[in-house]
Structure 1
Amino acid sequence: MGTASSMLTQYDLEEVQLHCHNLFSQQEIVSLYQRFCQLDRNAKGFISADEFLSVPEFAMNPLSQRLLKMVDGLNFKDFVAFLSAFSAKANMEQKIALIFKVYDSDGNGKISFNDILEVLQDLSGVFMSNEQREKVLIQVLKEAGYTRESYLMLDDFIKVFGNSGLKLEVEVPVD
């Protein structure tokens, strides 16, 4: 795909479309490419953490530091693949897999009590004490049939969130 300033060829579009499992149309990929080029200020071919933080909605997200670990240094193909979980065409399992990765910050494929507690801290900030967070989490895990010592795997996450009606979509403006 060359440098970030070059145009996408039909081959590039098809390659990216396959890479993201056809969850975006070619028009949407062109729009995403334009946005990618705007973010890639130095035309390096990838987006740095600082460039991602230039997006106000991203920077304001309480989970931005966790997300940065997932997106720092993405090239265009991987940028589109990351965003594909937000596509209206993505199934619930694809969306839940992304959420799972946010919680699984060490990438070991399982989520511990402390992993969930860290996310709760990011989300609640100073509005809850550590003791309150732990108490709530212990109760939620107990109601779901898990204990403080349990590890949640992706299948567990899918089971818990699968019927939640989770909406995780972003509309890609097409020019």
Structure 2
Amino acid sequence: MPLLALYTSPQTGVIQDGDKFSQASLLRLYHRFRALDRNKKGYLSRMDLQQIGALAVNPLGDRIIDSFFPDGSQRLDFSGFVRVLAHFRPIDDDTGVRDPKQPEPLNSRMNKLRFAFQLYDLDQDGKISRHEMLQVLRLMVGVQVTEEQLESITDRTVQEADEDGDGAVSFLEFTKSLEKMDIEQKMSIRILK
């Protein structure tokens, strides 16, 4: 069965141009998927993903794993695996004009920012509250910073990004605060190109 058929499913439809992986990359991803599926179930569970060393040591590892299981699902098929990893595909250098009627590629700057935003928006209400920011920063810095310093960093971060003064950071405010950051580079895994 061609890998393109494995990546196309009734839930996801046809692969969009910007979401495409090369056949070689799809093959590598498929082998990785099968290696993670130690019990040969045909799908991955949270426990399978927790075996990935880089996620096990990443302070946001649990949040990243959650992104593979939207809507509380317990099973991750190959197309879902590829769909999440498509966010980390480097953005193509060609500057061709994209058809505005087509969905934005998963690896676009905006979709990379949406993915990053969801890691902070713990209650999924569309805003990053001070409490959510504090929780994520606490995960990221661990015991390297005192609680007082962490609260000060949190307050300053929210205050600088919060343009409308509601005490939280909306997605629009989040994108504005990161407009100078090379998110395309920071959220790319070159080996998947």
TM bucket normalised to smaller: 0.7 to 0.9
**TM-score, normalising length from structure 1?**
0.82
Give the corresponding residue for 1:168: 187
Give the corresponding residue for 2:101: none
Q: Which amino acid aligns with 1:112?
A: S
User: Contact (CA 8 Å) 1:93, 1:162: kept in 2 or not?
Assistant: no
Paired residue for 1:156, among 167, 173, 176?
173
Q: 2:35 & 2:128 partners in 1: Cα distance?
A: 35
Q: Is 1:69 matched up with 2:36?
A: no
Give the corresponding residue for 2:49: 52
Q: Deviations over 1:36-90 (max 9, x none)?
A: 1110111222212221121111111011122222225322111111111110022
Q: How many residues align?
A: 168
Q: CA deviation at 1:20?
A: 8.3
Give the corresponding residue for 1:41: 38
Q: Against the structure 1 CA distance between its residues 12 and 21, is the aligned structure 2 distance closer, same or farther, given a 3 Å change threshold?
A: farther
Q: Against the structure 1 CA distance between its residues 116 and 96, is the aligned structure 2 distance closer, same or farther, given a 3 Å change threshold?
A: same
Q: CA deviation at 1:160?
A: 1.5
Give the unaligned 5+ runs of structure 2. 70-74, 92-106
Q: 2:172 & 2:81 partners in 1: Cα distance?
A: 25
Matched residue of 1:111: which SS? strand
Of 113-122 and 8-17, the range deviating more from structure 2? 8-17
Give the corresponding residue for 1:82: 84
User: Contact (CA 8 Å) 2:130, 2:167: kept in 1 or not?
Assistant: yes
User: Contact (CA 8 Å) 1:19, 1:77: kept in 2 or not?
Assistant: no
Give the unaligned 5+ runs of structure 1. 1-6
Q: Against the structure 1 CA distance between its residues 117 and 149, is the aligned structure 2 distance closer, same or farther, given a 3 Å change threshold?
A: farther
Q: Is 1:137 matched up with 2:154?
A: yes
Q: Is 1:123 matched up with 2:117?
A: no
* Aligned Cα root-mean-square deviation (Å): 2.5
Q: Against the structure 1 CA distance between its residues 129 and 142, is the aligned structure 2 distance closer, same or farther, given a 3 Å change threshold?
A: same
User: Contact (CA 8 Å) 2:120, 2:128: kept in 1 or not?
Assistant: yes
Q: Against the structure 1 CA distance between its residues 148 and 60, is the aligned structure 2 distance closer, same or farther, given a 3 Å change threshold?
A: farther
Q: 1:143 & 1:45 partners in 2: Cα distance?
A: 46
User: Contact (CA 8 Å) 1:101, 1:107: kept in 2 or not?
Assistant: yes
Q: Percent identity?
A: 29
User: Contact (CA 8 Å) 1:111, 1:153: kept in 2 or not?
Assistant: yes
Q: Against the structure 1 CA distance between its residues 64 and 13, is the aligned structure 2 distance closer, same or farther, given a 3 Å change threshold?
A: closer
Q: Which amino acid aligns with 2:190?
A: E
